[in-house]
Amino acid sequence: MAILLKGTPVAEAIGQRTAFAVSKLAARGVTPTLAILRTGEGADAVAYENSAVRACEKYGVAARRVTLSGDVSKAEFIGRLSALNADGLVHGILVLQPLSPGLDFRTIRNLIPLRKDVDGITNASLGGVFAGSETAFAPCTAQAVAEILGFYKIPVSGKKIAVVGRSLVVGKPAAVLLTGKNATVTLCHSHTAGLAEITRAADIAVIATGRTESFGAEYFSPGQTVIDVGIGWSDKKQKLCGDVIFDEVEPIVNAITPVPGGLGSVTSSILANHTALAADAAQKRLLYLKQG
Ligand code: NAP
């Protein structure tokens, strides 16, 4: 039986850090606030929004839902986003995907100012993560991978880690964060030759492909830790599952994240934490400017 790396205790530990930051801000009259911008009523976006709002409110971060219609014009969307950018009471902005047709996420994401980019999706934030800058927030899911390993005291330094998936929001930044913790990371993708050989040889395998229930026993070996980032609907099982075929893999490896119950709550808790940190930084900037 593998050790189950459940997300809830990790999310709660991060939540305690958030609550501490929130209480210090409250003493200065500041309520950290996250604005969540969504277009349309897509089920995945609504579910993610609800979990983000729950995670925020649990630890005293205010969440402001900004919901626009599924056919909102580019001008209206950009107008609303610009207003949030300029609003001193909003410290973090999360733009949910998918955006309505006509809105290009690759362009829109870069309209969020670095200091409010609490999900680390702008080029500026990603550049900061790659440069090891402390003023940039990492994408929450990528950071969640590192937080789970840290919470469960799974050694990373000097270990071989295979990260499968190279998206800008998960695989690539996770590889950078883990490299920063002195792991030797192999970043894999859909063109990687001999993928199963690489994942089997790793001490830790991080699977983030969005290919639900695609990674079975042949990809893993005894003693490994498996972080399953994927979350998708399994028609076969009629429930949400990860990218890893849990029933096949769990008996082989040493530790594994369950899906659901793994990374998701950690990701939302990090989002709330980033919002509190963004509010703290904004407050410090204001004080500095006032001092002349
Ligand atoms: P994405 O942008 O679609 O990227 C998928 C990556 O996986 C790509 O780099 C792709 O390679 C690679 N890939 C696809 N099939 C592969 C295969 N058979 N072998 C090796 N690599 C393969 O997805 P994403 O946004 O990173 O999300 C990945 C998963 O994480 C999804 O299931 C998503 O729902 C989940 N997710 C979870 C959370 C959470 O909080 N739990 C948050 C965000 C995302 P190429 O680059 O070569 O195409």
Would you say residue 292 has pLDDT above 80? no
User: What does the pLDDT average to over 210-229?
Assistant: 98
Ligand 1 centroid vs 87 CA: distance in angstroms? 33
Q: Are 50 and 81 in contact (CB under 8 A)?
A: no
pLDDT for residue 27: 96
Instruction: Among 169, 186, 189, say which to mutate for ligand 1: greatest number of ligand atoms within 8 Å of CB.
Output: 189
Check pocket membership of 260 for ligand 1, CB cut-off 6 A. no
262 lines ligand 1 (CB under 6 A): no
Residue 279 scores a pLDDT above 80: yes
Kindly give the distance from the C-alpha atom of residue 192 to the centroid of ligand 1, in angstroms, as a whole number. Answer: 14
Q: In which band, very low, low, confident or very high, does the pLDDT at 134 lie, cut at 50, 70 and 90?
A: confident
Ligand 1 contact via 259 beta carbon (within 6 Å) = no
CA end-to-end span of the chain: 61
- pLDDT-based confidence at residue 86 (cuts at 50, 70, 90): very high
Distance of alpha carbon 292 from alpha carbon 289, whole angstroms: 5
What percentage of the chain exceeds 70 in pLDDT?
100
Residues constituting the chain: 292
Which residue's C-alpha comes closest to atom 5 of ligand 1? 209
Distance CA 288, CA 286 (A): 5
CA of 26 to the centre of ligand 1 (A): 38
Ligand 1 pocket, residue 189 CB under 6 Å: yes
Q: What would the pLDDT profile of 29-77 be if each residue is shown by its tens digit?
A: 999 999 999 999 999 999 999 999 999 999 999 999 999 999 999 999 9
Separation of alpha carbons 24 and 28, rounded Å: 7
Percent of the chain whose pLDDT exceeds 90: 97
Going from the Cα of 230 to the center of ligand 1, the distance in angstroms, rounded, reads: 7
Mean pLDDT value across residues 250-269: 98
Helices (H), the chain: 7-27, 43-58, 74-86, 105-108, 123-131, 140-151, 171-180, 195-201, 246-249, 263-290
Q: Is 171 in the pocket of ligand 1 (CB under 6 A)?
A: yes
Task: Using the mean position of ligand 1's atoms as its centre, give its distance from the Cα of residue 208 in Å.
Answer: 4
Helices 7-27/263-290 angle, 10° precision: 20
Residues 4/251, Cβ–Cβ less than 8 Å = no
Whether the CB-CB separation of 178 and 146 falls below 8 Å is answered with yes
Ligand 1 centroid–CA 210 distance in Å is 4
* Residue pLDDT, tens place only, 145-187: 999 999 999 999 999 999 999 999 999 999 999 999 999 999 9
Single-letter code of the amino acid located at 28: R
